[in-house]
Amino acid sequence: MFPSPNSDNNLNFAALIEMMKAKLLLIASFFLLLSQTVVAQEQDTVQRKKTRIHIEHYDVATFSKSMGDMQRLIGNVKMRHDSAYFFCDSAYFFEKTNSFNAFQNVHIIVNDSVEIFSDLLDYDGNTRFAEFFDNVKLMDDSTTLLTEYLTYDRNLHLACYPDSATTYRGDKTLISCIGYYRDDLKEFSFFENVEVTSPKYQMFTDTLYYNTNIEKMWFEGPTIIINEENTLDGEHGYYLVDEDIAFLDKRPVMRNETQRMKSDSMYYNRNIGLAKAYDHVDMIDTSYKVVMRGNYVEMWENKGLSFATDSAYATIYDNDNSDSLYIHGDTLFMYFDKQKEEAKKLIARRNVRFFKSDMQGKCDTLTYLVADSTIRMRVNPILWAEDSQMTGIDIDIKIKDQAIDWVLQKGNAFIISQDTVEGFNQIKGTDITSRFKDGGIHRVNVDGDKAETIYWIRDDDGGLIGIDVSNSETMVIEMENQNISIIKSFKGISETMYPESDLSESSRYLQGFKWHDEARPRDKDDIFRRIEAEMPQAAAEVAAEETTTETSAEAEPEAKEEQQPKRHRERKKLE
């Protein structure tokens, strides 16, 4: 670069200057663009009176007019310019131009906190502008920047590098291709292939601003933040270093092996394991194919809990997404296994409605047990399956192969289906277990103290044979093509076939009959329709039970024809 003042070779100062100009020309355009905005803003404040560079110490000095009145300083050189001190092994000092070149063990004390080291230095005292070459190190308090070429403008407190640097601060390492540092603001700007590494996280971006006073990073452009728990992708945002808090917008994504959350903007506090997502939020569990959506979602990693509200709904989708289950509630909660990072159960609260092609429903509280595909409906539940309306105090549904396997109605159970011509077919009992086949009810077990049915019996041509009214303690009903084929009654049997004219209108309905067809969701968008309902009496108790209970659904109910005592024991256990 520069010939050392200690060299015995003949010096050609003109050639030296030309060589310097050639190199500086390559980087001039970069720094011109980088600094012109800053210079324009601060040019009124940098008009300083020119001051002279003072030589404070050297071991040997020579003077040469052939080199343009240059002084050659050798050994323990020390110079001062205003408040800055310069140290080196040797130097060329140009008094007329108020500048110098320094060689080997170059060290500048810029101010109380900033020091710069290098092998070579070119300094202009009139412009207060310095260029450092080879093994450059800038230190400011606990921050160290390493590069091979650096400029420093003392007027603007601005250090710049055009070709890669590594910065260390505490336990963090920051790498970029281009950057600059304002030591008065304690702020770095990093550009192109920026990498941040610490024991807690890694960050990759194209543009990063880092203020070390407040320990805050701003990033722009595609950015990835990786920690032990999650990976965050975003286009814009900031990161609070000491607090481990990130905020991202422009459709950020948080993901791990089995879960993915996307939204318009996102807040993430790693210390407490809390993520908050805002607007158009999608939270996906790929292991169990559950999607939870809403305009506000919180995910608590340490608690294994997420909840969504504001137009919240969930989708449980199948492999080809052809027949998904859509669930809406005022608030949705998803519990997941913290170790496996997979969903365990989904709870929907208040104004719950759901839609699937083969079943629809409404209730106040719904729990979906993900692992065994069981749905629990609590507080005024209504389930529609094919042509049947099913009600009870509680309803449990087992899903198998994307279709209903069985339904258990517990307490004041009622099944109603509309007759093909007029009237309603009805089944009522304390508990009812219905098994499904090919999407329809195949077998019904009615248990409890009293089983009742009213059924409109028709011939093959649809003509009415009569209205069958039967009572017993328990019943087993076989269904075929949605019609009753066999009824088996046990204990206290009473059965009468009435001609239509002999059965009064009021006698055609079992006590407690209510037809809720207007409340039935018609499609996946209809789940958001508000339905006025009675205030549930036990909503608080059910909410507390569903929030704290982590157990799976009980074993699949067995179809029993005569074992009523066992059925009573099973019901008591389920309740």
Separation CA 475–CA 478 (nearest Å): 10
Torsion angle of alpha carbons 144, 148, 151, 152, nearest 10°?
20
For residue 486, what pLDDT is reported?
83
* 385 and 296 housed in the same domain: no
Average pLDDT over residues 469-478: 89
| Buried-state track 241-259, b at ≥16 Cβ within 10 A, e below 16 | beebbbbbbebbbbeeebb
Would you call 165 helix, strand, or coil by DSSP? strand
The two tokens of residue 203 are 């960050």
The two tokens of residue 48 are 């300083």
Q: Would you place residue 322 in the very low, low, confident or very high pLDDT band (cuts 50, 70, 90)?
A: low
What are 270-280's pLDDT values in tens digits?
A: 989 899 999 99
Beta strands in 302-450 (DSSP E): 305-309, 313-316, 325-328, 331-337, 342-356, 359-369, 374-378, 382-385, 388-391, 394-400, 403-418, 424-437, 440-447
Quote the mean pLDDT of the chain.
83
Instruction: Report yes or no on 157 lying in a domain.
Output: no
* 407 and 485 housed in the same domain: yes
Instruction: Report yes or no on 406 lying in a domain.
Output: yes
Q: Does residue 344 or residue 543 have the better pLDDT? A: 344
Q: What are the residues facing 352 on neighbouring strands? A: 363
> Helices (H) and strands (E) in the chain — how many of each?
3, 40
For residue 463, what pLDDT is reported?
85
Q: Would you place residue 25 in the very low, low, confident or very high pLDDT band (cuts 50, 70, 90)?
A: very low
| Buried-state track 355-382, b at ≥16 Cβ within 10 A, e below 16 | bbebbbbbbbbbbbbbeebbbbbbbbbb
Q: How far is CA 33 from CA 20, 90, 383, 470, in A?
A: 20, 33, 68, 92
Last residue of a domain, one of 201, 218, 250: 250
Q: Does residue 15 or residue 316 have the better pLDDT? A: 316
Whether pLDDT at 157 is above 50: yes
What are 234-248's pLDDT values in tens digits?
A: 999 999 998 999 999
Q: Would you place residue 532 in the very low, low, confident or very high pLDDT band (cuts 50, 70, 90)?
A: low
User: Which has the closest alpha carbon to 244: 229, 255, 260, 259?
Assistant: 229
The two tokens of residue 450 are 């009293």
Q: How far is CA 507 from CA 421, 424, 427, 450, 454, in A?
A: 18, 12, 14, 17, 9
Separation CA 534–CA 529 (nearest Å): 16
Instruction: Report yes or no on 200 lying in a domain.
Output: yes
Last residue of a domain, one of 213, 229, 250: 250
Q: How many domains does the chain have?
A: 3
The two tokens of residue 131 are 């260029």
- The number of C-alpha atoms within 13 Å of 415 and in the hemisphere containing its C-beta is 31
Instruction: Report yes or no on 538 lying in a domain.
Output: yes
* 233 and 323 housed in the same domain: no
- The number of C-alpha atoms within 13 Å of 423 and in the hemisphere containing its C-beta is 20
Average pLDDT over residues 8-34: 42
* 217 and 177 housed in the same domain: yes
Query: What's at 284, amino acid-wise?
Result: I
Please report the DSSP string for 544-560 in residue order. HHHHH--PPPPPPPP--
Average pLDDT over residues 520-541: 70
The two tokens of residue 401 are 């192969």
Instruction: Report yes or no on 574 lying in a domain.
Output: no
* 299 and 236 housed in the same domain: no
- The number of C-alpha atoms within 13 Å of 430 and in the hemisphere containing its C-beta is 14
Dihedral sign (CA 440, 443, 449, 454)? positive
For residue 84, what pLDDT is reported?
96
* 347 and 438 housed in the same domain: no
Q: Does residue 340 or residue 469 have the better pLDDT? A: 469
For residue 289, what pLDDT is reported?
82
* 494 and 459 housed in the same domain: yes
What are 113-155's pLDDT values in tens digits?
A: 999 999 999 999 999 999 999 999 999 989 999 999 999 999 9
Whether pLDDT at 186 is above 60: yes
CATH number at residue 425: 2.60.450.10
Dihedral sign (CA 231, 235, 237, 240)? positive
Kindly report the CA angle at 484 between 483 and 488, in degrees rounded to 5? 170
Instruction: Report yes or no on 528 lying in a domain.
Output: no
* N-to-C CA span, the chain: 87
Average pLDDT over residues 445-463: 86
* 498 and 389 housed in the same domain: yes
The pTM of this model reads: 0.74
Contact between 255 and 261 under an 8 Å Cβ cutoff? The reply is yes
* 360 and 296 housed in the same domain: yes
* 326 and 214 housed in the same domain: no
The two tokens of residue 82 are 């205003």
Instruction: Report yes or no on 33 lying in a domain.
Output: no
Instruction: Report yes or no on 397 lying in a domain.
Output: yes
Q: Which residue has the tokens 């001051």?
A: 51
Last residue of a domain, one of 195, 220, 250: 250
Average pLDDT over residues 52-61: 95
% the chain with pLDDT above 90: 57
* 240 and 296 housed in the same domain: no
Cβ burial, residue 29 (10 Å; 0-12/13-18/19+): exposed
User: Which has the closest alpha carbon to 556: 291, 283, 373?
Assistant: 373
What are 204-231's pLDDT values in tens digits?
A: 999 999 999 999 999 999 999 998 888 9
Q: Would you place residue 321 in the very low, low, confident or very high pLDDT band (cuts 50, 70, 90)?
A: low
Whether pLDDT at 566 is above 70: no
Q: Where in the sequence is the domain holding 388, given as residue range(s)?
A: 381-504
Of 12-26, 340-354, 445-459, which gets the smallest average pLDDT?
A: 12-26
Of 118-132, 529-543, 560-574, which gets the smallest average pLDDT?
A: 560-574
Average pLDDT over residues 89-98: 94
Whether pLDDT at 440 is above 70: yes
For residue 542, what pLDDT is reported?
46
For residue 285, what pLDDT is reported?
84
* 298 and 388 housed in the same domain: no
For residue 234, what pLDDT is reported?
92
Q: Would you place residue 48 in the very low, low, confident or very high pLDDT band (cuts 50, 70, 90)?
A: low
What are 407-429's pLDDT values in tens digits?
A: 999 999 999 988 877 889 999 99
Q: Would you place residue 264 in the very low, low, confident or very high pLDDT band (cuts 50, 70, 90)?
A: very high
